[in-house]
Amino acid sequence: MALFVGLMCGLTPACVQPEIASPAKRSINEETKGSVRQERGRRADEAKPWEELRLPPAITPEFYNLTVQPDLTGSDTFQGWASILINVSEPIEYPRIHIKNINVTLSKIIDDTGSELVEVNPAFYYEYNEFYVMDVGTLQPGMYTWEIEYTGGLAGKIAGFYKSSYTVPGETEPRYLATTDFEPTDARQAFPCFDEPNIKTFFKIKLRHESKYIGLSNMIEEDRIDIGDGMVETVFGDPEVKMSTYLVCFIVCDFGSVEGKTKSNVTFRVFAPEHKIEEAYYALKVGINITEYFEEYFGLPYSLKKLDMIAIPDFSAGAMENWGLITYREQYLLIDNVTSSASYKQLVCVVVSHELAHQWFGNIVTMDWWDDLWLNEGFASYVEYLGADQAEPTWQMQEQFVVNDLYSVFRLDQIVSSHPIIIDVNRPEEISEVFDSISYSKGASVIRMLNDFMGEESFKEGLQRYLKKYEFGNAKSADLWEQLQSAYDDIVKGNLDIADIMDTWTKQMGFPVVNVEKDMNDLVLNQDWFLVDPNANRSAAPFESPYDYKWEIPFSSKFQMQLDDPPNYQWMERTDTDVVVTGDNSDWYIANYEEKGYYRVNYDIANWEALSLQLNTDHTMIPITDRSGLLDDAFNLAQAEQLDYVKVLDMTVYMDKEMEYIPWDAAYSNFMWLSDILRYQPAFADWRVYLQSKTKTLLNKYNDWSAEVSHLENFLRTDIIYLSCSSGDPDCLNEALTQFYKFLNNETVSANVLSPVLRFGMELDGGQDNWDALWERYVNSDTSAEKSRISFGLARTRHVWLLSRYIEYAMDESKIRRGDFFSVLSYISGNPVGNPLIWDYIRANWEYLVDRFGLSRSLGSLTYTTTQYYSTELKLQQMEEFFEKYPEAGAGPDHASRHWNA
């Protein structure tokens, strides 16, 4: 699936994007719930066949006819007719199929002579494995047709087949649509199916609906047949490919579309509500561009005749790569020229690129089972940068990787409670948990490292071999390593064992710090598991490492006197100590060149000092990503007590000369983190003055906040405004206030600076009148991007009672969409005035919250966001009490991640 929380954001609460919480899943099938029939003729202690989690391999679906009819106006239910051709390869009892929350009204199995098989016992539902089980005696090998009719509900859900709505300005009645969202295991809520990723089949789909709607599905519309009573049947083309169930999609809606064609003649369309269709052109343009690029990169044409992308008003993930019909959250697909900022534009480009990458990596070749999900997601999260870079060559996408993915996942992976990329998953709820930023961002980071040490040519060749070999099938991580190995052996003829190397990065959690000492002209290298908490209890880690926390490291370095040469590579094997790199007597050297490796580096003190000196004299001698890497490593090493803070701050002295976004963004997260830690300390005063002095040059350079600047300068300007206003710079705060009043007066304020303008405006002048005026704007805004900025601004008033009232508004679904509840609370918790309010609120209302939202990841991450900067004994005590009372309140594995399930 696709992603994403605020891509360009640092760690500030400003950057927490709204998140739609899955409503508590409603079972509409009370009748079948838990009714496990007593089985005769078996001993009670013998495992029943349906207690096996996995479907039996003896039954293979060969073809699927599916007709679905949603009722959007009256009952909010749907009806379905499924007819599945199954191939039984060996005698088997109790044929079973996945269903969930649907009522089966008829089920029969017909043999190849057309006779219906007689049921020996009534069919039953085994809820634990979500199986519908029939008993027709022993099925002998051969072909059968399994026919199932069923009904289901569309309302109150955001997974499976569900109803969504939107309003058109000027209309009072909402418009409705019915859409699907399946990954990982919700296809079974829409139709009975063999719901495992390695069971691929052909789907022939028909939708029945009122004639005012259109029907969309994976294949192109082939026919639209009038069936009377104002109803039509949309028939989709014959299936062109076999696909996994989680990639099936069907939608009934009244949207409009824009259309183009790729060079290879694929029809490319973007669907959106008619009144927003202008906003679809950007996605269409980059979508076509990136599809053409991936056809070349993967060496395989896109598989289907058409490719649609559609903006869904209520969507739980960021986007979903259904084959030929990709669904998106609105703000990740549509760009309004006026209210959209550079960051949303980039998000659209990147998310589109990610989903398009899945059309090959994921859809053509699918992971064999969910434990290799990272292969889909890590891979797409890496090549999304290549696609976006192609479409927008000036955005420095490849360099942005480090600030968007690498450093943020380092932060999660440098604590003992992280987890390996590859973990066992079995039950559906465990499957959902692996959609976290370790799968996405760490997966992407280790693949980027692999690409780097294999070299572009052999990496690409290996990928193409892999896609060819497993085309329309399934594969595991080991299969990818094997194909990459063969390409590497043929092209580079080196001596690397790719599987052996990659296992150390995927099968144990964490990553190393390489400690480098200069010995005369040489470098002496040693590795150690990097943990940011100096007191971390290493033996308390929840996973065991098969490699004793040692890695196979492609160590790269460059000496100052050889900057124009390619970097030196030196493998550090996991058993090696004191590895030597031959060097020269340069003043300084840098390692992990361009931050391609998934490790940190700690230098000898003399080198840190020489690097500081170089940054101060001419920082442009050191490449951009290495400047950002030095800063991020230094801050984290200091936190781990492996480097003195004085040395770290020395590294930042040059920042007043730094003009590039990427090093600034790396500094931004670390400066903000330090500010939050120092906020209640006497040293805060000096720290604020220091920050003001470092940001002054750029604040002056960008003194016109509505000026059109380049894409990356937009990001840089926003970072600078946040840093300098939050450190109290009077020029910055004055300008923020001026812009704030302009906004309240209905004058245009650039979308690129609106978040900081509203934040600092409300902090300085956020009394009731201004709060209410802003609230009015929130209610009337028609774009989700603008709404989310305003809701952030509202959370920044310093008047506690306004914040209390805002919490009440958030609980009222007629005021704030249920899906925006958590983002509003986390915005308030990011306000120092509001934080104690939220902390009290969570502690007082925990049971109510669990009751209303379930133990969702959104709830877990609210606790995390609220308490992440606590650093006093008192807070520690409060947290210990809280977690003792509610042990389940620990955040889900995805806390603080920027990625969405997608």
Distance CA 355, CA 361 (A): 10
Query: Does the annotation count 355 as an active-site position?
Result: yes
- State the minimum distance, in angstroms, from the CB of residue 867 to ligand NAG: 21
209 known ligand binder? no
- State the minimum distance, in angstroms, from the CB of residue 33 to ligand NAG: 9
Using DSSP, state whether 62 is helix, strand or coil: strand
- Mark 101-120 with x for binding to ligand NAG (rule: CB under 6 A) and - for no binding: --x-----------------
What distances in angstroms separate CA 690 from CA 104, 662, 716, 728, 857, one per listed residue? 68, 20, 19, 11, 38
Q: Backbone phi, then psi, for 522, in 5-degree steps?
A: -95, 160
- State the minimum distance, in angstroms, from the CB of residue 218 to ligand NAG: 16
Options 25, 58, 83, 647; binder of ligand NAG; rule CB under 6 A: 83
CB 347 within 8 A of CB 329: no
Helix axes 711-726, 684-701, angle to 10 degrees: 150
Burial class (CB in 10 A: 0-12, 13-18, 19+), 63: middle
Among residues 681, 715, 700, the alpha carbon closest in space to that of 397 is found at: 715
Tokens of 470: 């497993």
- State the minimum distance, in angstroms, from the CB of residue 281 to ligand NAG: 5
- State the minimum distance, in angstroms, from the CB of residue 466 to Zn ion: 18
Q: Which of residues 157-216 bind ligand NAG (CB under 6 A)?
A: 204
Residues 6+ apart with CB under 8 A from 499: 478, 481, 482, 485
The sign of the torsion formed by the CA atoms of 659, 661, 667, 671 equals positive
Q: Which of residues 391-430 bind ligand NAG (CB under 6 A)?
A: 391, 393
The binder of 65, among Zn ion, ligand NAG, none, by C-beta within 5 to 8 A per type, is: ligand NAG
Distance CA 249, CA 218 (A): 6
Following DSSP, what letter does each residue of 389-448 receive, concatenated? HHH-GGG-HHHHHIIIIIHHHHHHHTSTT---SS----SHHHHHHT-SHIIIIIHHHHHH
Q: Does 380 bind Zn ion (CB under 5 A)?
A: yes
Which amino acid is residue 672, in one-letter code? M
> Residue 156 or 546: which CB sits closer to ligand NAG?
156
Which amino acid is residue 457, in one-letter code? E
> Residue 77 or 845: which CB sits closer to ligand NAG?
77
Residue where the block lists tokens 């500094």: 667
Asked if omega into 420 is within 30° of 0 (cis), the reply is no
Options 164, 179, 289, 901; binder of ligand NAG; rule CB under 6 A: 289
The binder of 433, among Zn ion, ligand NAG, none, by C-beta within 5 to 8 A per type, is: none
The binder of 28, among ligand NAG, Zn ion, none, by C-beta within 5 to 8 A per type, is: ligand NAG
| Active-site pick, 183, 279, 292, 355 | 355
The bridge status of strand 175-181 relative to strand 160-166 is antiparallel
Q: Does 81 bind ligand NAG (CB under 6 A)?
A: no
CB 64 within 8 A of CB 82: yes
Options 2, 86, 516, 590; binder of Zn ion; rule CB under 5 A: 2
Q: For Zn ion, which stretch binds (CB under 5 A), given 25-33, 388-396, 582-590, 894-902?
A: 894-902
The binder of 698, among Zn ion, ligand NAG, none, by C-beta within 5 to 8 A per type, is: none
The binder of 145, among ligand NAG, Zn ion, none, by C-beta within 5 to 8 A per type, is: ligand NAG
354 known ligand binder? yes
Residues 6+ apart with CB under 8 A from 99: 125, 130, 131, 132, 150, 188, 189, 192
Q: Does 31 bind ligand NAG (CB under 6 A)?
A: yes
Options 38, 113, 115, 265; binder of ligand NAG; rule CB under 6 A: 265
Adjacent-strand bridge partners of 77: 153
- State the minimum distance, in angstroms, from the CB of residue 29 to ligand NAG: 5
Q: What's the alpha-carbon Rg for the chain, to the nearest Å?
A: 28
Say how many C-beta atoms besides its own lie within 10 A of residue 106's C-beta.
9
619 known ligand binder? no
Say how many CA atoms lie within 13 Å of 76 toward its Cβ: 11
Options 50, 213, 293, 385; binder of ligand NAG; rule CB under 6 A: 293
> Residue 618 or 747: which CB sits closer to ligand NAG?
747
Q: What residues are annotated to the active site? A: 355
Query: Rule CB under 6 A: which residues touch ligand NAG?
Result: 28-31, 60, 62-63, 65, 77, 83-85, 87, 89, 103, 143, 145, 151-153, 204, 265, 278, 281, 289, 292-293, 337, 390-391, 393, 537, 539-540, 745-746
Question: Which residue ranges make up the annotated binding site?
Answer: 354, 358, 377
> What are the residues binding Zn ion (CB under 5 A)?
1-2, 377, 380, 902
| Binding site as annotated, residues for Zn(2+) | 354, 358, 377
